[in-house]
Every structure is written in C-alpha cells, then in structure tokens.
Amino acid sequence: MGRISGFDTKKIFPDSSSGFSAGSEVPPQPKQEASDLAPLSPQDLKKEVTELARLSAAINERMNEFIVGNHEIIDLILIALLNEGHILVEGVPGTGKTTIAKSIALITGCSFNRIQGAIDTQPADMLGVRIYDTNKKEFILRKGPVFTNFLLVDEINRINPKSQSAFIEAMSERQVTLDGITLPMHSPFFVIATQNPHEFEGTFPLIEVQRDRFMFNIRSDYLSAEDELNIIRRAHTGQLNWETFSRSLTPLLSPHLIKHYIQVVRQIIIEDPVLHYIRDLIVATRTHPDIELGVSSRASLSLVSGCKTLAALNNRTYVIPDDVKTIAHAALAHRLILSRDAEIEGLTREQVMDEILSKVEVL
C-alpha cells in the first residue's frame, strides 16, 4: 500500500465502544461561524476533538462497508479536507479512486464534480466562460465544474500545460477571474487529482512548482491478494452495488461543519520539541547530498497543519512526533528534486525521505 500504510485505523478512528456507530444519524449541531470561532478552553477543545474523532470513526466505518483496501487514501482525504488542502494520487486506473472520492463527498454532505483530463481540455472547460445570450441580450456566466466543494480531476497529466496552469492557479488562489470578474470558489474547496505514472505518451507531467501546490501525494497501488479476493467475493454476491450504497448514505458532516472543524484543528497544541523536529526534517531536505532542491516553507506549514489534524483524529489535543513520522512521506517526498547523480543511481524520493527520517532525531 501507500506510504501512509502505517496508519492504525483503530487508533485513529475510535471503535464503536465510544458510544457512536456509523448507523447512528448525527443531528446537525449549531456551531459558530468558522470565521467567528474564538480560542477554545482546554475543556472545550477536548469536547470538539472528541466529537470530530467520533464523526471520523463513523465515516471510516461507513466507508469500509463498500470500499475494500485503500484506507490510507481515505485517511489522507479527511486530513486534507480539514486543512483546505489538495491531494495528488498516482497509480494505475481501476483502483477505486473515483468511488472513494464520490463516497466521501456524499458522506460529508459536499457537492461533487469530476473532470476527465484530455489533451484538448481548455481552461474554459474547467473554469467556465461568459457567453452572449441573444434572448436576454446580455452576457451570462456559465460556471465550470471547478465550482463545487469536492472536485476529482482524473488524469491531470493528460491536460495540456496551459490548461494545467490555469487550473492549478484557480486551485491555489481559490478564486477564478473570467473577463475581469473575480469569482470565489465554493467553501470548502477540495481537489483530488490523479495521474498514471506508468504512461508517458500524450502526457504532460506536472512541473515541480505545480506539485508543490498539493498538500499530499500518495501512490494508489494494487490491492493485496487478500483484499483482491475480498472484493471479488463481495462483488459476486452483490455487496458492491454503487447505486444501493449511495442511496443508503446519510451525510455525517456538512460544508458548514467542515469549515467549523477546520478552525478547531488549528487550535491543536504543538510544542516546541515537535516544531524543532519538523524544522530539522525540513532543513535536512535542503542539505542532503542526493537532493538538488529541498522543500519550501509551504511544505513545513502543510506538515504542521496535517499533524494537527491527525492528532485530532486520534482524539488528542496535542501533536506527538509519531504524527510527523506518519505523514512526512505524503507531505514532503513529492516536493523533493533529486540530484542528477541520485537519479542515475536509481534512487527515489521515497528512499531519500526514508534516510532523512532515519537520521533526524527527536530532541
């Protein structure tokens, strides 16, 4: 599985002994507007974190009824969603990425759109366009599929560079300008982009500055032999019918609640020793002999915010070094540019990241 396969989902997502089950309907709780959330007392922060951990447990349990394997992708999606981050998934087709994205969008109460990457995809196909309405005798705006909460971009490396740049800019700035009119994206706005690293013909690999815009990068591998047998059995007995499953899903979150919890996880405590450990990891990427260009400050901020969310999903109000180690690969490896000698030797970013993690100590 992917680099986050070390996740212990029972640890991250408390079991039903917590008094909450996936079959329970979660009534919407009145919350303050996200922008108005005041600093929480330790007791109130603990209550919020406990509630979020229970909701996450329910989402994970519900997803397991239909999704076989790929738990690390689900975990990272939840972390990124609660950080207004985006994920780049690399892997072969047919490994369930689209189904996972649609399922989480439904269960979190988010709107969902999908873009299929192609060489002739134009910026207007994704962002939208203003057209002249002859009946109204005025220009009207037709918004593109990016105006949604949850956007899946399949095979982003098949989109031509001009359209890639336009999309990445909109993804990063969270707004689109059409004919001088600036339009905000939906809130929350979350992107999963996929690409097949084994195909080269007719593809346009993302440049490093574009890859840096993704909070996480993960590889979607083939299922294990056990999971493959499980999915065959369940499909054969009719347990993997998407229409039936999607109709049975009851949203456990909403865009409003997601925005609220985005503010909550920002208040998770991270002490200086952990911050120093993160700093040392970041600096190590800039001084390693096999790395031509290390990670930027954007990477360190992504790692910090991701660790805070992981702590919350573990029902903790504070970050520990193991949180850093758990998501370091997904948050940092894709941002590294290896030296020419390292590439000639056949080293991978993941191998270099492994070495850094093994050498940098927690003080």
Q: pLDDT tens digits for 307-356? A: 999 999 999 999 999 999 999 999 999 999 999 999 999 999 999 999 99
* Residue 256 sits in the same domain as residue 148: yes
Alpha helix segments (H runs only) across the chain = 9-12, 42-64, 71-81, 97-107, 123-127, 161-173, 208-211, 225-236, 242-248, 255-265, 272-287, 297-313, 321-332, 340-344, 349-359
Same domain, 83 and 219: yes
Residue 296 maps to a domain: yes
Structure-block tokens of residue 31: 């919350």
* Predicted local distance difference test score (pLDDT) of residue 35: 54
- Is 21 contained in some domain? no
Whole-angstrom Cα distance, residue 86 to residue 190?
6
Is 70 in the same domain as 131?
Answer: yes
> Are 308 and 268 within 8 A, CB to CB?
yes
> Residue 144: its pLDDT value, please?
95
CB of 348 closer than 8 Å to CB of 354: no
pLDDT score for 179: 82
Q: Same structural domain for residues 11 and 154?
A: yes
Any domain includes 163 = yes
- Omega before residue 188 within 30° of 0, cis: yes
**91 and 78 housed in the same domain:** yes
How many C-beta neighbours within 10 Å does residue 42 have? 9
What is the model's pLDDT at position 223?
Answer: 86
Cβ(103)–Cβ(109) under 8 Å?
A: no
d(CA 61, CA 266): 25
Select from 264, 288, 307 the last residue of a domain: 264
Torsion of CA 77, 213, 362, 343, to 10 degrees: 110
Is-contact 77 150, C-beta < 8 A? no
CATH number of the domain bearing residue 321: 1.10.8.80
| Same domain, yes or no: 113 and 240 | yes
Q: Are residues 116 and 244 in the same domain?
A: yes
Q: Given the structure tokens 């440049």, which residue do they identify?
A: 207
Query: Are the beta carbons of 234 and 240 closer than 8 angstroms?
Result: yes
Cα-based angle 139, 142, 143 (whole degrees, multiple of 5): 140
Statement to judge: residues 81 and 45 lie in one domain: yes
Calpha distance 171→43 (Å, rounded): 36
- CA distance linking residue 31 with residue 178, whole number of Å: 34
Angle at 328 between CA 88 and CA 323, to 5 degrees: 120
**Tokens at 185, concatenated:** 């994206």
What's the per-residue H, E or C state across 247-284?
A: HHCCCCCCHHHHHHHHHHHCCCECCHHHHHHHHHHHHH
- Structural domain tally of the chain? 2
Same-domain check for residues 103 and 199: yes
Instruction: State the Cα–Cα distance between residues 104 and 190, nearest whole angstrom.
Output: 11
If asked whether residues 46 and 111 sit together in one domain, one would say yes
Query: Among the three residues 264, 295, 326, which one is the final residue of a domain in this structure?
Result: 264
3-state DSSP helix/strand/coil % of the chain, to nearest 5: 50, 15, 35
- Do 256 and 346 fall within a single domain? no
Examine residue 23 and state whether it is found in any structural domain, yes or no.
no
Q: What would the two tokens of residue 317 be?
A: 């109000």
Position 27 in a domain: no
Confirm whether 9 is domain-assigned: yes
Residue 231 structural domain: 1-15+36-264
Assess whether 190 and 89 both reside in one domain. Answer: yes
Below-70 pLDDT ranges, the chain: 1-36, 200
Tokens coding 149? 């909460």
- Domain assignment present for residue 220? The answer is yes
Beta strands 138-143 and 291-293, pairing class: unpaired
Give the predicted TM-score (pTM) of the model. 0.86
**Which residue has tokens 């369930």?**
96
Q: Does residue 125 sit within a domain? A: yes
The CATH number that applies at residue 202 is 3.40.50.300
Q: Tell me: the pLDDT tens digits for 55-105? A: 999 999 999 888 888 888 899 999 999 999 999 999 888 888 888 999 999
Identify the bridge partners of residue 175 per DSSP, sorted by sequence position.
184
Q: Supply φ then ψ for residue 266, to 5 degrees.
A: -65, -20
At 68 the pLDDT is 87
The domain boundary, picked from 264, 291, 315, lies at 264
